[in-house]
Structure 1
Amino acid sequence: MSWQQVGRESDIAVRDMKSFVIQGEAITVYHLDEGWYATSDICTHQDCSLSEGDIEGEEIVCWCHGGAFDIKSGRATRMPCTVPVEAFQVQIRDGWIEVDLS
């Protein structure tokens, strides 16, 4: 595993998200009620930043065209998005958010 520290746990409120660039890759970290998740920040439909969208339940809704992805799995859940975004494991260690890029 290749865990990368991205920020403090206190940096992201519950039901919020924040984007980071990790090893040249744009990643969005989400803090949902039941835990922490991360996906690629780039919508597979038209290269828009997902971190500029809205969290609805367990989905991230892209601001460009209203397509959506499951935050936990990266699965495309709403048209026009059909190709999933990559999802990454997240852990909290000593108050720090870490993302596994492997």
Structure 2
Amino acid sequence: MSWKPIGHVSEIATGDMKRFTVDGEDITVYHLEDGWYATSDTCTHQDCSLSEGDVEGHEIVCWCHGGAFDIKTGSATRMPCTRPVETFPVRIQDDEIELEIE
């Protein structure tokens, strides 16, 4: 595992998210009130982009079908989603957003 810089803190306002492509994989980074989080950008139910959905508290709601995932843990929290999305550790170094990727 190694830390990869992917963007700058100034790119994502608090309460917002942004999709990045890291080593060919789309990952959504969330800047919530209590910290920074990252999940796979692909919904496990219908392969829709989660970065096009809505953040509601600590959940990302998929725009395709209304299912949701916990942003912190990746677990499915609302039907029809049943399988979790992958999560990634995030750290901030100076103004850089870094993800820990295999």
Scaled to the shorter chain, the TM-score interval is over 0.9
Listed one character per residue, the Cα deviations across residues 17-75 of structure 1 (whole Å, up to 9, x for unaligned) are: 00000001000000000000000000000000000000001000000000000000100
d(CA) in 2 for partners of 1:66, 1:77? 11
Give the superposition deviation at 1:11: 0.5
- Structure 2 residue aligned with 1:3: 3
Equivalent position of 1:41 in the other structure: 41
Q: How does 1:1-102 map to 2 (within 5 A)?
A: 1-102=1-102
Point out where structure 1 has 5 or more consecutive residues left out of the alignment: none
In structure 2, C-alpha distance between the alignment counterparts of 1:3 and 1:81, rounded to whole Å: 30
* Structure 1 CA distance for aligned equivalents of residues 73 and 61 of structure 2: 14
State how far apart, in whole Å, the 1-side matches of 2:30 and 2:50 are.
11
TM-score of the superposition, structure 2-length normalised? 0.98
Moved >2 Å (runs of 4+): none
Aligned mates of 1:61, 1:101 — CA distance in 2 = 24
Give the letter for the 2:50 counterpart: L
Tell me the matched-pair count: 102
